[in-house]
Amino acid sequence: MATSANGVTVVDHPLVQHKLTLMREKDRSTKSFRQLLNEIGMLLCYEVTRDLPTEMIEIETPLQRSMQPVISGKKLVFAPILRAGVGFLDGMLELVPAARVAHIGLYRDPQTLQAVEYYFKAPSDIADRMIVVMDPMLATANSAVAAVDRLKERGAKDLRFVCLLAAPEGIARMRDSHPDVRIWTAAIDERLNDHGYIVPGLGDAGDRMFGTR
């Protein structure tokens, strides 16, 4: 179940919404938070890959030869924004184990809220692949915009962005900077507070995932 408008898809499946509510609880343990993020990542991956192209191949079943569909083209690239983006990665790789992985290291300067890059590594042929950029929070969108900028500089053309929560301000910034990049999210929350956190949100996803809050 998903609703789409203006390049943004909200995955409103009951399982996604239930797990998201559990993650929002402030007393949720690090282990449980991490597991829930992994599970939601898998469910969001199902939606973001819904329109992948397929082709027919001939196989042999136990009864006869038959033409059946498989995904066509080069394998996907999953591109988590470090550090919290890796929380999505295992769940998505469960569904698409042959996917390639890129890593984009960015942190948010606590004073300016701007994204600062400290690591980037991606397959050399990303221009020929569909890339799913992932980060649990689309707040100011500074990190998301910087990650997509960097990938496009390397030749990427087919990009999608997946997050757990989005703020209206982050969506507007992302759509303004990269209108060709569609967004998938489990929820759009009310707003950003003065510190750039999504409200009501779930706090700092990276801190909660790694137990550093």
> Is 61 annotated to bind ligand?
no
Say if residue 2 carries a ligand binding annotation: no
205 is in an annotated binding site: yes
Phi, then psi, of 118 in degrees rounded to 5: -130, -5
CA-based torsion, 163, 159, 7, 104: positive or negative: positive
Question: Which of the residues 21, 54, 112, 212 is marked catalytic?
Answer: 112
C-alpha dihedral, 138 to 140 to 142 to 145, nearest 10°: 50
User: Is residue 193 marked as binding?
Assistant: no
Task: Establish whether 108 is a catalytic residue.
Answer: yes
Q: Is 112 a catalytic residue?
A: yes
Question: Is 28 flagged in the annotation as binding?
Answer: no
Burial class (CB in 10 A: 0-12, 13-18, 19+), 63: exposed
Q: Read off the tokens for 186.
A: 């489990």
Q: Which residue has the tokens 């919290």?
A: 84
Q: Which of 34, 108, 150, 160 is catalytic?
A: 108
Structure token pair of residue 190:
């009310």
For the question of residue 207 being annotated catalytic, the response is: yes
182 is in an annotated binding site: no
Degrees (nearest 5) of the Cα angle 161, 46, 52? 75
Q: Is 160 annotated as a binding residue?
A: no
Check the annotation: does 137 bind a ligand: yes
- Whether 12 is catalytic is no
Is 138 part of any known ligand binding site? Answer: yes
> 165 and 185 in contact (C-beta within 8 Å)?
yes
Catalytic residue among 90, 128, 158, 207: 207
The annotation places the binding site at 83, 108, 135-143, 198, 203-205
Residue stretches of the annotated binding site for uracil = 198, 203-205
Q: Which active-site residues does the annotation give?
A: 108, 112, 204, 207
